[in-house]
């Protein structure tokens, strides 16, 4: 599934092509993906100018004066701006025609994506309970330390709780914990304030590096420009179970934590 860097890469690639453009029509080749497609996509969005393209967690928002289209890529979705005359392929489910004869096209073979609507001045229920953005000023070591008191869950599961912080998925949680020298098995409440401050620094560094490099190449993820993400070349632990640790050379351990495969070094991470 695309994680925060992949979604941010998508936002940055789409924004120059969408901001300031008017949606002239919406074509739905099916009426539902993971959930029914919001009726506002065809009733309110056409004729409206896109004021801004934003990201919240793994959702993209196309803001207009009458509300925001709320898009999620699911497990296999992708978005591209292409000439309107390009024929639709199988699994091209949604088209937003723009006033320059180009179209924002959503491709989603597995149909786990979503196209929803957020009314002006409101917060969609899917966004209401989300924690802070990991690259925002609200996300600090002191914040994590305070929230972790009394939390006995492994710190990796704690980090991947979207009510704690958004967008720190399996890949980037594993990499940040390795960089900070913290075992993913350690209870969240047993980590000191100073170590949480270090962990936040590493989370920011890892995410910013991944965004700069276009994300991590994932099996089903396709960026809007068709390029691959190159952060995969720098992965220290994710997907490397049993291979030598890049720091100490010992075999990396692998186990399920919170129903997700986790890899770490039992020597370098405590």
Res 76: pLDDT:
87
Res 261: pLDDT:
94
Res 213: pLDDT:
84
pLDDT band at residue 224 using 50, 70 and 90 as cut-offs: low
Q: pLDDT for 114-153, tens place per residue?
A: 999 999 999 999 999 999 999 999 999 999 999 999 999 9
CATH 2.70.70.10 for the 4-128 domain, yes or no: no
pLDDT band at residue 198 using 50, 70 and 90 as cut-offs: very high
151 annotated ligand binder: yes
Active site residue 270: no
Active site residue 58: yes
91 annotated ligand binder: yes
29 annotated ligand binder: no
Q: Is the pLDDT of residue 19 over 60?
A: yes
Active site residue 260: yes
The CATH code that applies to domain 141-264 is: 1.10.8.50
Active site residue 156: no
Residue boundaries of the structural domains of the chain: 4-128, 141-264
| Contact predicate 165/207, CB 8 Å | no
Q: Active-site residue among 58, 80, 240, 253?
A: 58
CA 268 to chain centre: 28
Q: Is the pLDDT of residue 155 over 90?
A: yes
Q: Active-site residue among 3, 6, 8, 202?
A: 3
CA 152 to chain centre: 26
Which of the pair, 32 or 1, is modelled with greater confidence? 32
Q: Is the pLDDT of residue 104 over 50?
A: yes
Q: Is the pLDDT of residue 167 over 80?
A: yes
In a 3-state reduction of DSSP, which class is residue 4?
helix
* Rounded distance between C-alpha atoms, residue 73 and residue 216, angstroms: 15
| Contact predicate 98/80, CB 8 Å | no
Res 214: pLDDT:
72
Q: pTM, whole model, 2 decimals?
A: 0.89
| Contact predicate 178/264, CB 8 Å | yes
């Amino acid at each position: 599934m695309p994680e925060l860097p992949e979604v941010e890469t998508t936002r940055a690639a789409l924004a120059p092509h969408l901001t300031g453009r008017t949606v002239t029509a919406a074509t739905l080749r099916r009426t539902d993906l993971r959930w029914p497609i919001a009726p506002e996509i065809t009733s309110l969005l056409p004729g409206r100018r896109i004021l801004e393209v934003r990201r919240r967690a793994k959702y993209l928002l196309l803001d207009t004066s009458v509300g925001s289209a709320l898009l999620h890529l699911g497990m296999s979705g992708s978005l591209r701006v292409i000439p309107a005359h390009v024929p639709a392929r199988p699994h091209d489910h949604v088209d937003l025609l723009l006033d320059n004869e180009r179209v924002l096209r959503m491709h989603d073979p597995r149909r786990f994506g979503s196209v929803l609507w957020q009314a002006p001045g409101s917060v969609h229920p899917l966004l209401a309970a989300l924690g802070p953005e990991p690259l925002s000023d609200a996300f600090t070591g002191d914040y994590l330390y305070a929230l972790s008191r009394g939390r006995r869950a492994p710190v990796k599961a704690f980090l991947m709780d979207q009510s704690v912080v958004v967008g720190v998925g399996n890949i980037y949680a594993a990499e940040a914990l390795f960089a900070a020298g913290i075992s993913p098995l350690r209870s969240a409440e047993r980590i000191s304030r100073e170590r949480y401050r270090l962990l936040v620094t590493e989370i920011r560094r890892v995410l910013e590096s991944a965004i700069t490099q276009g994300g991590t190449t994932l099996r089903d993820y396709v960026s809007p420009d068709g390029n691959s993400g190159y952060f995969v070349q720098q992965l220290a632990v994710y997907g490397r179970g049993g291979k030598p640790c890049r720091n100490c050379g010992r075999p990396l351990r692998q186990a399920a934590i919170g129903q997700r495969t986790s890899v770490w070094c039992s020597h370098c991470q405590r």
